[in-house]
Amino acid sequence: MRKILVVGNWKMHLNTSQASLLVHRLQERIAIRRDVEVVLAPSMLVLQPLSVQIDRRKFRLAAQNAYFRDEGAFTGEVSFTMLRDLVHYVIVGHSERRHIFSEDLDMIRDKVAASVRNEITPILCVGETKRERSDGETKQVLHDQLMTALHNLTSREVGQMVIAYEPVWAIGTGDVAKPDQIEEIIDYIRGYIRDVFGPKASKELRILYGGSVTPEVIHGFLDVPGVDGFLVGGASLNYYSFANIVDAAYKWQREKGEV
């Protein structure tokens, strides 16, 4: 049984005291739920103080990015090796990294490999732009992103990672993907993993949806077959919205009789 995963990506928001306040509120509002895993991805600067503040029965930490070399003359970068005792997850290949910071397919492949090498679970983001979708290229784009990023990984390593399907046109736009669009792509991703890495990896791998997820739209998404959780941006900055998303995921799972 794949455990539901809800990840809050705070992006470049919240300084140390604002982050601490948000965690304080979330800890009051979110109960310990063994069957829903809640992960916070604050800025790099805030990871260390939050690691001592969080109730580890409720939350785990993720970094939003890291550099693939373990150490060296790379001014301004933080390596996966430096993060290995601090975080459970690192987000790799977010569309903002791909498009604003020009991370290409090879760099994302190297980051996934560095994450696995350092025993940190990668949350690999994939997704097409609006133009790629309207040109009918969605599956080809996803194929290329998956093929490169997972290059050289074993079936076991792929089974343990997380893939987030985030259509670029749905991120921060309020332009939410429709459940049937999400279902089609999740099926495609799981099918790709089954063909290349085998049925066990495809069954174990968790696939998230991300892009304008809010408490208002969450119910339609939870019923999409194969969705194992969410990567939440904007709505994760508000304790009330984020806690409602976590609650909705928990209730949905309980109603299905899976808790």
- Within 213-252, the residues that bind ligand PGA by CB under 6 A are 213, 231-235
Of 171, 222, 224, 243, the one binding ligand PGA (CB under 6 A) is: 171
118 lines the binding site for ligand PGA (CB under 6 A) = no
Query: What distance in Å separates the CA atoms of residue 181 and residue 197, rounded to the nearest whole number?
Result: 24
- What are the angstrom distances between the C-alpha of 82 and each of 63, 118, 150, 184, 212? 11, 9, 22, 38, 31
Q: Is 214 left (phi over 0), alpha (psi -120 to 50) or beta?
A: beta
Of 212, 215, 228, 241, the one binding ligand PGA (CB under 6 A) is: 212
Which SS3 state, helix, strand or coil, does residue 91 take? Answer: strand
121 lines the binding site for ligand PGA (CB under 6 A) = no
103 lines the binding site for ligand PGA (CB under 6 A) = no
Is 71 noted as a catalytic residue in this protein? no
Nearer to ligand PGA, 1 or 12 (CB): 12
Catalytic residue among 94, 128, 157, 183: 94
Query: What distance in Å separates the CA atoms of residue 250 and residue 130, rounded to the nearest whole number?
Result: 32
Q: Please check whether residue 71 is in contact with residue 114, taking contact to mean a CB–CB distance below 8 angstroms.
A: no
Is 94 noted as a catalytic residue in this protein? yes
Strands 229-232, 4-9: pairing is parallel
43 lines the binding site for ligand PGA (CB under 6 A) = no
Distance of CA 183 to the CA centre of its chain: 17
Q: With contacts defined by CB under 6 A, how many residues of the chain interact with ligand PGA?
A: 13
Q: CB neighbours of 130 closer than 8 A, spacing ≥ 6?
A: 168, 169
Looking at residue 146, its amino acid is L
211 lines the binding site for ligand PGA (CB under 6 A) = yes
Binding range to ligand PGA, per CB under 6 A, among 44-52, 70-78, 136-144, 209-217: 209-217
Catalytic residue among 128, 157, 166, 183: 166
Of 4, 6, 8, 9, the one binding ligand PGA (CB under 6 A) is: 9
Q: Which residues bind ligand PGA (CB under 6 A)?
A: 9, 166, 171-172, 210-213, 231-235
Give the residue numbers annotated as catalytic, written as ranges.
Answer: 94, 166
